[in-house]
């Protein structure tokens, strides 16, 4: 007689190839949302079916949402199914329908009846660590995974090589016997929208002991990371810490053995003073790794559909600092993008016209790039001194004929203001 039904459930830890597979989530509440967020990093097609759709689903890209009640025919052609409704009886019915079609199913509210469960996963490149508890203690599994993240970090593959055997048969010394090498990560946060931060930066932040961050970085978002956060940002008119002090803080933290991340808005190598910090750290024998970020010029161009280069009218683009431009040599480019120029709009206008730019050259002023409160004002070069245009900071100024190629140019030019949420596909 088969007594498996009465035995304790055991789940075999295996890795399933889900590349290109179709996954179905039945239900659209908090439980379903959690499943979708954990599955999005895989190359799969995700479909969500539900009557009451959690608003957070609308902020997630690249998933299919169907607003309807469940029907057994919805299961057709799916590889795996997650039953995540708020009704246990409905979830069990879905399970029966899946078994009739030989489809693996997970019940969010009842691991005991599930064909599979999703362990707490930490992945670093090709290495994956899964922590499971046979579905009995999910919180403990997550806690263990988070400890692995914090204590191992981006160099996880190195930390797991403690018992490797060398060619002569002797075991390598463990990492506690290796010489200590102080290190700082210079990482870009991106233009403001946290979803535009790179996965590599995210992983370093998870592993960090201390995060030194700029003023333009969303401090509320940083609360997701367990590290100590120290604000060292410098905003126009609000300088509260000098660059030399920041340099010393980075060196001191690295030499103390801490995992240090210096987090900068945008890209660290574009007007981020990373060059100064890199040089100082190198002079003090601190190893440095740089992680690039999306600079605001690229984000603004994507947000408002402005091609920074165009085959017909713009063959080159240059990034310029917006202050003290009278003392600088302006680059020869079809499109100029000025950073930090909110207070120098008139000066930028006068100098460009003096250097031969047509006074009718279109200009786009964009504030709070990539954020929901972002605004754009379209004008022309000679108007920057005539009218109080967009003054909000941080402000980006794009000068060039390419501005005319933005989809809504004819609607909003000249000198009109339009609020627009970001439209990135990430």
Task: Scan for tokens 């709009």, then name that residue.
Answer: 345
Query: What is the CA angle 146-152-156, rounded to 5?
Result: 120
Q: What is the DSSP letter of 410?
A: H
Q: What are phi and psi of 262, to 5 degrees?
A: -100, 105
209 is catalytic: no
Burial-class residue 347 by CB neighbours within 10 Å (0-12, 13-18, 19+): middle
Element counts in the chain: helices (H) and strands (E): 11, 18
Tokens of 135: 């579905």
- Catalytic choice (193, 214, 264, 267): 214
Closest CA to 63 of 36, 100, 41: 36
- First-to-last alpha carbon distance for the chain, in angstroms, is 53
Closest CA to 64 of 36, 41, 85: 36
Computed from CA positions of residues 90, 94, 100, 105, in that sequence, does the dihedral angle turn out positive or negative? negative
- Catalytic choice (234, 375, 404, 420): 234
259 is catalytic: no
Rounded Cα–Cα distance for residues 98 and 55 (Å): 28
Rounded Cα–Cα distance for residues 271 and 257 (Å): 29
Give the residue numbers marked as catalytic: 214, 234
């Amino acid at each position: 007689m088969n007594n498996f039904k009465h035995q304790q459930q055991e789940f075999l830890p295996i890795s399933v190839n889900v590349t290109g597979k179709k996954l179905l989530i039945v239900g659209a509440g908090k439980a379903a949302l959690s499943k979708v967020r954990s599955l999005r990093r895989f190359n799969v097609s995700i479909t969500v079916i539900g009557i009451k759709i959690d608003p957070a689903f609308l902020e997630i890209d690249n998933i299919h949402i169907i607003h309807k009640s469940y029907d057994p025919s919805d299961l057709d052609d799916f590889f795996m199914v997650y039953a995540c409704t708020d009704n246990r009886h409905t979830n069990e019915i879905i399970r029966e329908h899946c078994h009739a079609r030989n489809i693996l199913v997970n019940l969010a509210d009842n691991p005991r009846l599930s064909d599979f469960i999703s362990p707490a996963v930490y992945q670093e490149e090709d290495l994956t660590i899964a922590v499971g508890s046979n579905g009995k203690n999910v919180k403990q599994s997550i806690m263990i995974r988070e400890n692995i993240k914090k204590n191992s970090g981006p160099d996880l593959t190195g930390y797991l090589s403690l018992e490797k055997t060398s060619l002569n048969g002797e075991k390598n010394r463990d990492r506690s016997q290796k010489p200590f090498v102080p290190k700082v990560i210079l990482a870009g946060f991106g233009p403001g929208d946290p979803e535009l931060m790179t996965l590599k930066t995210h992983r370093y932040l998870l592993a960090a002991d201390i995060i030194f961050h700029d003023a333009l970085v969303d401090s509320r978002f940083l609360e997701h990371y367990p590290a100590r956060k120290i604000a060292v940002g410098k905003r126009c008119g609000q300088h509260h810490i000098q660059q030399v002090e920041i340099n010393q803080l980075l060196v001191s933290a690295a030499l103390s053995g801490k995992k240090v991340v210096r987090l900068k808005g945008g890209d660290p190598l574009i007007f981020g003073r990373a060059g100064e910090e890199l040089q100082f750290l190198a002079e003090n024998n601190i190893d440095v790794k740089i992680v690039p970020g999306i600079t605001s010029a690229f984000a603004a161009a994507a947000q408002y559909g402005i091609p920074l280069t165009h085959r017909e009218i713009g063959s080159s683009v240059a990034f310029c600092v917006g202050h003290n431009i009278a003392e600088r040599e302006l680059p020869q480019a079809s499109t100029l993008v000025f950073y930090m120029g909110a207070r120098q709009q008139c000066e930028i206008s006068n100098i460009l016209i003096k250097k031969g730019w047509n006074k009718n050259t279109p200009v786009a002023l964009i504030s709070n790039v990539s954020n929901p409160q972002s605004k754009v004002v379209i004008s022309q070069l000679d108007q920057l001194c005539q009218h109080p245009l967009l003054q909000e900071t941080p402000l980006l100024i794009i000068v060039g004929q390419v501005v005319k190629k933005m989809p809504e140019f004819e609607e909003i030019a000249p000198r009109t203001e339009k609020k627009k949420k970001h439209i990135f596909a990430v």
